[in-house]
Amino acid sequence: MYFPTSAARQLSTVPALPNLPPESVICLCPSPRKALFCTLTRNGVTVWRIRPPAVLAYLSRTPTSVIDHGENIDVQWSPDSSRLVIRTSESYLVLVSVVFKPEETVYQAPPTPLSAQRIFLAGPGEGLPFQSIGLVFEGVVRVDGTLLSVSPRRHHVLFSTKNPPTIQRIPWPVDAEDGTQAEMRKKNQQHGYDTWIFNDHDFSWFIDTDVSVVQILHSRTMGIETWITSDGRAYFVRLHENLGSERSTSALTDDDATQDEANHHRMSFDSTSGAYSHKSWRGTCVHDFETPRWVQKQRRIDPDEPLHQGDRVYKEPRRVVAMAINSKFSFIAIGTYSGGLEFTNFPSQEGVTPKSQSIYVPNPYNRQIGEVCALEWSSDGYVLAVGWKHGWGIFSVGGRCLASGFGVDDLVDEDRFQDAFMYGVRNLFWAPGNYELVVLAQSSPRKIDGQLFVIPFAKSATTGQHSPDNTRYAFLQMDDRALVYRGADQPDMSVINPESDVWQHIKIPQSYLATNWPIQYSSLSSDGRLIAIAGRRGLIHYSSTSGRWKMFNDEQQEQAFVVKGGLLWFHHVLIAAVEVARTYQVRLYSRDMELSNQNVLHREVLPSQVVILSLVDNSLLVYTADNTLFHFLIVPTAETIKLHLCGSITFNGIISAPSAVRMLSWMIPSAQKQLGDPVDDLSVATVLMVVGGQLILLRPRKSANQEVKYDMQIFADRIEFCWIHLRGIGTLENSLWGYDGQGIRVWLNALAIETRQGDKDDDKSENVKESVNIPLDFYPLSVLMDKGIIIGAEHEAATRSNLSFVMFRHATSSHLFLHHILRFLLGNRQVKEAVTFAAHYKELVYFAHALEILLHTVVESEATLESESESEDGEIAPDAVLPTVVEFLDHFDAALDVVVGCARKTELTRWRRLFSIVGNPKSLFETCLASQRLKTAGSYLLVLHNLEQLDEDNDDAVRLLKSAVDGKDWQLCRELLRFLHSVDDTGAALRKALSKTNVVSFIEDGEVVSNLSSSP
């Protein structure tokens, strides 16, 4: 999904100003839009541009200000990026205005001759002019009671204090002389100055009210926030405000909080409206722990006071030190003091504390990791960046560790090694597009500069657009190029060979990236030959056949629209969902024609923004932000191609958040496919969606008035990606493949599951157990159905003693899924279906290997139950799978090789049960000998020897040797002679075999001397 690549770039944080001593960076904070970010030192603040990373402004506080107001501790941006709020050590808020000066230019590129302009091109995102920024000191605000945390909002500043423990808010200061800010001043006065003191009455939902809030985290997209209290617990909180008899003006409904004990309001008089307002905080604990009793009996010690009895002070390992809200998947990431990670769902409306999921943090060398210092979700919600005191890591939404580092594995030159983030991260954030991670390493006393790094990433294209074609091929997107896995077009052995380099690197034109970075959507055609890319504005497309990109010749046409909703290929036609002048369209472009507004094949105007597109055969599914699904048929005509609207249906009351839909498809019943009119597909189709992290199935049901309604069934939670196989291999038709962070879960024939579940109560929404679960030790990117392989990647980091940096790369991995599907079918006694399924893959060079894995897995799994699976009279238990597997293997010519290959890879104690079902190995040896399968017979010879079923004269070995001599298989002859020598140290058996087979006469004639001597 996300894999670090190449090497990290190091940024210098020391301003190039005279008479300015270097200072360590203590804080890193991006602006709300992440176009800018700022770094904070003890006495100064610097504003950077994200691309290219360059300093735009620097403000240094005077020594007098530092002495009077304290040193800088933390910094936050206001929601409109017009201010910086700095928290100091002496409980002050320092306000800094950010003044944008579009008419001024900070940096001016030197003039270059025309011959050099083709060489020195602007990189991704570097084509736009630098915007000048000024930092102006606005003032300071003294906060009584020891300031702990600050959270700027649109009209006010929210903060917490320690003595007394409170939550307070104050309006933004407004210059009274500035008439343009009169409206802003009026809005600020509506919020006023508010103080909430923690007590048992107003904050009864606190587990322990004798606490203070040490961190406030706010999510602007969802209008929610979380608090971390001084006792290490975390709360999911909301502020409810009522003015007079009016309803709550918060973004949340009154139904979201029904706790009577928390329904206590604070009364305050609003001078603007002349009415009393009711304001109360309501919350639910989302992270709790049980304090040991021996700690509860101790005298309470303030953690900020000197530890005069430090050896007796208990520090709870599960206390929360960092949090991050994932608004896309609706849960919270929690970092603990001991370095642990936990994922917790949002609390229910009843206020019940949700159960948390502990995330495994790989640490093979058992190194010290320290507490969690920073957490940041990517904007698409798929991955979490974690900074520990002694390391860093990347985790998927399902809990899979994609990359991590706690120091370096090899010896490096400490004086030259510059990647300090490998030893600890203090702060971090994702750059726009999530192609780069900006990290602030822990400060080092040896080196002040060199704390700031930018780590490049390659990510799966499905993170931006989850379409079926993007999952058919492994398709990765980098900052300036696309990577397409071409192993599906290679011979079978190249697919399973990890050393094969089958990735095609396709560079994106710099002229497009310079002004349209970052890439938002990437789409691949069904045959993998056509690629479409959409950035900040416009789109471009590429053909691997011609090796050429096509771009808009008219830049104004390119900049006039933005792709929102996705891109899809229908043969050579590109389907794009765009926004143009606040209108929403679906456009059709031809690969064979130049990109321009005049060459648009078809325009379909929609009433709302497109959330996602999906293509099933010639049916285009369009899901919009107003919760409506449109069904279009793609109709080719003699001159062009156009869309025909077949119908639409709304999902109001079924899907509560349309923006959370990540994947869309449907399955049509076989009768409708063969006999029905495609126009009627919408009324009978079973709709599949990934909403947030839930894989859901919407089953159509017609009421008495022929109105179509849907019954929703949740297949699984925390599904990161989903593959759908609609046709082709019989057993896999209409199968769902979902990855949950640990393995792939397969539901075979989802339409049949629908039929079985149809008679249940309509209100029930039960999870459906998967047919097959395939555990993986790498991250899957695609499923090659025709080759029976899952393709994925895993992160690798390499260091060298002569290099000063770490090199990152992703290695391709593969996993066979044939034996998993076969074992499920055979476990259900579906031998005929298993044979039909396996027949599709019997031409693969590794087919026998897959069958051997199947047999070995069954033998090992049933070995521990051998005593239970066999009754007293020696008969096999009726629930044993091994007899069915053996019956299945008899349908294939490779059965004899599979059995003996499995036997030689298992313990001798397993052989008795195996050959009691397969048959006597002596008989199998004779079968191989009679069918001239001499190498297989040689393997059975070793089995007979280990089972002590060979006679003293070794007649079986002699007969096989004679057949090998007759067939001139000298390699087998050599192995048989070595075997005879090993079973009889005297050499009598070897001499007897030589005399019986007349091998000596062959040697004397000189025919095989070279063969026997040169055999390896």
List all residues 6 or more positions away from 830 whose beta carbon is below 8 Å from its beta carbon. Answer: none
Report the 10 Å Cβ neighbour count for 784.
18
More confident residue, 540 or 755: 540
Reported as a pLDDT band with limits 50, 70 and 90, residue 312 is low
Lookup: tokens for 83: 């201010």
Reported as a pLDDT band with limits 50, 70 and 90, residue 745 is very high
35-82 pLDDT, tens digit per residue, is: 999 999 999 999 999 999 999 999 999 999 999 999 999 999 999 999
- Sign of the alpha-carbon torsion through 673, 676, 682, 685: negative
What is the rounded distance in angstroms from the CA atom of residue 103 to the CA atom of residue 126?
Answer: 18
- Tell whether 181 is covered by a domain: no
For residue 256, pLDDT over 50 is answered with: no
What is the per-residue pLDDT for 671? 85
More confident residue, 991 or 139: 139
- Tell whether 259 is covered by a domain: no
802 and 879 together in one domain: no
**Using CB atoms within 10 A of its CB, is residue 319 exposed (0-12), middle (13-18) or buried (19+)?**
buried
What is the per-residue pLDDT for 217? 94
Establish how many alpha carbons lie within 13 A of residue 875's alpha carbon, considering only the half-sphere containing its beta carbon.
Answer: 4
761-773 pLDDT, tens digit per residue, is: 444 345 788 999 9
218-237 pLDDT, tens digit per residue, is: 988 888 899 999 999 999 99
What is the overall mean pLDDT for the chain?
Answer: 85
526 and 656 together in one domain: yes
Domain boundary among 801, 816, 831: 816
- Sign of the alpha-carbon torsion through 919, 925, 928, 933: positive
957 and 899 together in one domain: yes
For residue 1006, pLDDT over 50 is answered with: no
Report the 10 Å Cβ neighbour count for 915.
18
572 and 658 together in one domain: yes
What is the per-residue pLDDT for 653? 86
420-465 pLDDT, tens digit per residue, is: 999 999 999 999 999 999 999 998 877 888 899 999 999 999 998 8
Across the beta sheet with 83-88, the strand order is 72-77, 83-88, 92-101, 132-142
770 and 894 together in one domain: no
Name which of 168-177, 680-689, 958-967 the model is least confident about. Answer: 168-177
What DSSP character marks residue 829? T
Percent of the chain with pLDDT over 70: 86
Lookup: tokens for 988: 């009598």
- Tell whether 5 is covered by a domain: no
More confident residue, 199 or 487: 199
- Tell whether 172 is covered by a domain: no
622 and 474 together in one domain: yes
SS3 777: coil
Q: How many domains does the chain have?
A: 3
Report the 10 Å Cβ neighbour count for 314.
12
Lookup: tokens for 568: 């899809």
Rama region for 389: left / alpha / beta (φ>0; ψ in -120 to 50; rest): alpha
What is the per-residue pLDDT for 409? 79
Tokens 């629930």 — which residue? 879
Reported as a pLDDT band with limits 50, 70 and 90, residue 191 is low
- Tell whether 998 is covered by a domain: no
Backbone angles phi, psi at 1001, to 5 degrees: -65, -35
What is the rounded distance in angstroms from the CA atom of residue 262 to the CA atom of residue 268?
Answer: 18
What is the per-residue pLDDT for 354? 76
SS3 236: strand
What DSSP character marks residue 260? G
Nearest alpha-carbon partner for 745 in 811, 831, 661, 824: 824
942-957 pLDDT, tens digit per residue, is: 888 888 877 777 788 8
More confident residue, 388 or 967: 388
**CATH code where residue 738 lies:** 2.130.10
Reported as a pLDDT band with limits 50, 70 and 90, residue 573 is very high
810 and 823 together in one domain: no
More confident residue, 379 or 255: 379
DSSP per residue, 658-669 = GGGEEEEEEE--
What is the per-residue pLDDT for 532? 97
- Tell whether 338 is covered by a domain: no
What is the rounded distance in angstroms from the CA atom of residue 133 to the CA atom of residue 300?
Answer: 49
For residue 881, pLDDT over 80 is answered with: yes
What is the per-residue pLDDT for 251? 36
* Element (DSSP H or E) covering residue 740: none
What is the per-residue pLDDT for 254? 38
**Maximum separation of any 2 CA atoms in the chain, in Å:** 120
What is the per-residue pLDDT for 675? 84
What is the per-residue pLDDT for 299? 54
- Tell whether 375 is covered by a domain: no
| Identity at 474, one-letter amino acid code | A
473 and 489 together in one domain: yes
What is the per-residue pLDDT for 266? 47
Reported as a pLDDT band with limits 50, 70 and 90, residue 1007 is very low
What is the per-residue pLDDT for 944? 87
- Tell whether 559 is covered by a domain: yes
796 and 824 together in one domain: no
What is the per-residue pLDDT for 335? 97
For residue 205, pLDDT over 50 is answered with: yes
838 and 795 together in one domain: no
Residue 953: give the domain boundaries.
819-965
pTM: 0.89
What is the rounded distance in angstroms from the CA atom of residue 818 to the CA atom of residue 794?
Answer: 22
551 and 572 together in one domain: yes
714 and 836 together in one domain: no
Reported as a pLDDT band with limits 50, 70 and 90, residue 871 is very low
Nearest alpha-carbon partner for 780 in 475, 378, 360: 475
Domain boundary among 950, 965, 980: 965
What is the per-residue pLDDT for 334? 96
What is the per-residue pLDDT for 996? 77
129-142 pLDDT, tens digit per residue, is: 888 999 999 999 99
For residue 843, pLDDT over 60 is answered with: yes
What is the rounded distance in angstroms from the CA atom of residue 649 to the CA atom of residue 651?
Answer: 7
For residue 509, pLDDT over 60 is answered with: yes
| Identity at 982, one-letter amino acid code | S
What is the per-residue pLDDT for 274? 47
Domain boundary among 816, 840, 869: 816
Mean per-residue pLDDT, 921-942: 90
